[in-house]
Amino acid sequence: MADRSFLDWPFLDDGHRRLGRELDDWCAANVAHAHSEDVDGECRALIRALGDAGWLRYCVPTAYGGMHDTLDIRSLALIRETLARHSGLADFAFAMQGLGSGTISLFGTDAQKRAYLPDVAAGRKIAAFALTEPASGSDVASMETTATRTGDGYRVDGAKTYISNGGIADYYVLFARTGEAPGAKGVSAFIVDADTPGLAVTERIAVIAPHPLATLTFTGMALPETALLGESGRGFAAAMATLDIFRTTVGAAALG
């Protein structure tokens, strides 16, 4: 059994202490350290199990099936540390449900939140966050994927790579250049269902710590106006706000 004395630290409340103990017990009974060769299938199964057990409720707000009114970083950090101690893939599965839905939680319309967040919390929809490109990683402002206005929506062309859950996700939160201004001020966010024509998974990427990872390409992909997530031209700010919530949890997962 892991040392749980840290749960007595003063910046954790009784709810956090209960969460830490109950999740650790659940992992001991339900999460295997070893992984099978079917990483996609195992990841899908973990997401469903995390949803069935209620742990994914911490990824979305209460109004849409979540645990707290807003995302609680201390809870997210506790969950990632505990899951990572038992299984890196379990931690990955949880983290991507949060990261891939966080922009919707923060900036989505009520209709968008109702369409996606309850299914994320239940493990029925697998989420993904499509930001990195072949020629621009941390330099988000240099992205080249474009979303060009058409008469009734947008046409998307370009590519994203190293996209976690690529190939198994049910939807992607996609960031593309809409051109309102140079650099970061000309980027917007969109919600893209995985079966949208013009979206293709063109490469599956193998890594030392196995998890679903892929390159996506977009060729004349048509999106309706309702796919826009947040304000046009404010996608960079939306991406950074989402990442800011989860930065602390990366350290917690590393500790686990």
Is residue 1, in this structure, part of any structural domain at all?
no
One domain for residues 118 and 144: no
Same domain, 17 and 119: yes
**Residue range of the domain that includes 167:** 129-242
Judge if 140 and 165 occupy the same domain: yes
In the chain, % of residues over pLDDT 90: 86
The CA distances from residue 23 to 33, 76, 78, 83, 191, in Å, are: 15, 12, 9, 8, 31
- Do 234 and 250 sit in the same domain of this protein? no
* Same domain membership, residue 102 and residue 112: yes
Q: How confident is the model at residue 205 (pLDDT cuts 50, 70, 90)?
A: very high
Q: Does residue 35 carry a pLDDT above 80?
A: no
Strand partners, 91: none
Q: How confident is the model at residue 211 (pLDDT cuts 50, 70, 90)?
A: very high
* Structure confidence by residue, pLDDT tens digits, 230-240: 999 999 999 99
Instruction: Please say if the pLDDT value at position 1 is more than 60.
Output: no
Q: What is the pLDDT of residues 116-171, one digit of tens each?
A: 999 999 999 999 999 999 988 778 888 999 999 998 999 999 999 999 999 999 99
Cα–Cα distance, 39 to 92 (Å, whole number): 12
**DSSP-derived secondary structure letter, 139:** -
CA distance 214 to 165: 7
